[in-house]
């Protein structure tokens, strides 16, 4: 099997204007805060590709472990974290030197990562253990954990850092947590097998993509005190 590629879409022309070769079966892309670098998880190569977006090319591949999935890039635009889903591990990688370091042996199937707006906290879903972890990014240590619905997958966080949203794939629900305490605020039913979620800040809406082919949209203009409404 040859390498795969990531594509760039020009939003004005609606045309694909870049094709960048990376490793095999790219699963997830995260961008550096300054928009200069993309980090691509190569599911079948146990590595992540560092892509220079100005040049439109891969500059290096960094080894991690089996089935890399979620990733985030820190505000320094250099330090990133990557989950190795089938190895039950979390890695810290240096995008400039290509070095990787095992930070944490996790529970079963660590999948997705999100950072708090100030990057002091990082959240991780463990799909195989039905829980989410909060980590201190300065130390890499787990500071809190919370039970989720069955098989948590993707997460989103509100721009003010007050609410964390987790899709529960086999429960067909989304749970909203207080991001500072990890106390559950609300759980709502969605379509079959929710797989993706994002917070749209212009209108304060939470969008949920369901694997069975539907989308749910909720209003949530008060992330801490309010509840989501369809």
Convert the pLDDT of each residue in 171-192 to its tens digit.
Answer: 999 999 999 999 999 999 999 9
Q: Distance between CA atoms of 40 and 199, rounded to whole angstroms?
A: 22
Distance CA 41, CA 28 (A): 5
pLDDT reported for residue 2: 67
Count of C-beta atoms within a 10 Å radius of residue 128? 17
Contact call for residues 122 and 157 (beta carbons, < 8 A): no
Chain-centre distance for alpha carbon 221: 22
Cα 50 from Cα 111, distance rounded (Å): 19
Identify the residue with better confidence: 224 or 173. Answer: 173
Angstrom distance (rounded) from CA 173 to CA 159 = 22
CB atoms within 10 A of CB 177: 24
Over 60: is that where the pLDDT of 64 sits?
yes
107: Cα separation from own chain's centroid: 17
Please state the rounded mean pLDDT for residues 118-133.
98
Confidence of residue 51 (pLDDT cuts 50, 70, 90): very high
Rounded mean pLDDT of 19-27? 96
113 token code pair: 């990562």
HSE, side-chain direction, 13 A CA sphere, residue 183: 6
Contact 135, 149 (CB under 8 A): no
pTM (2 d.p.):
0.95
pLDDT digits (tens, 9 = 90+) for 72-93: 999 999 999 999 999 999 999 9
How far, rounded to the nearest angstrom, does the alpha carbon of residue 198 sit from its chain's CA centroid?
10
């Amino acid at each position: 099997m040859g390498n795969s590629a990531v594509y760039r879409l020009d939003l004005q022309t609606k045309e694909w204007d870049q094709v960048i070769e990376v490793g095999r079966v790219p699963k997830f892309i995260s961008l550096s805060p300054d928009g200069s670098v993309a980090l691509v998880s190569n599911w079948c190569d146990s590595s992540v590709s560092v892509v220079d977006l100005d040049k439109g090319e891969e500059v290096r591949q960094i080894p991690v472990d089996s089935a890399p999935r979620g990733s985030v890039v820190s505000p320094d635009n250099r330090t990133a974290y990557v989950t190795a889903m089938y190895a039950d591990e979390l890695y810290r990688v240096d995008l400039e030197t290509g070095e990787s370091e095992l930070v944490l042996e996790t529970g079963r199937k660590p999948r997705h990562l999100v950072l708090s707006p100030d990057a002091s906290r990082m959240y991780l879903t463990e799909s195989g253990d039905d829980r989410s972890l909060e980590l201190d990014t300065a130390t890499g240590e787990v500071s809190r954990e919370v039970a989720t619905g069955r098989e948590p997958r993707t997460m989103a966080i509100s721009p003010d850092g007050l609410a964390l949203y987790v899709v529960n794939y086999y429960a067909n629900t989304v749970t909203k947590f207080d991001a500072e305490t990890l106390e559950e605020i609300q759980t709502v039913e969605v379509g079959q097998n929710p797989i993706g979620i994002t917070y749209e800040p212009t209108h304060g809406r939470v969008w949920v993509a369901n694997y069975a082919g539907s989308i749910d949209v909720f209003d949530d203009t008060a992330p801490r005190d309010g509840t989501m409404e369809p």
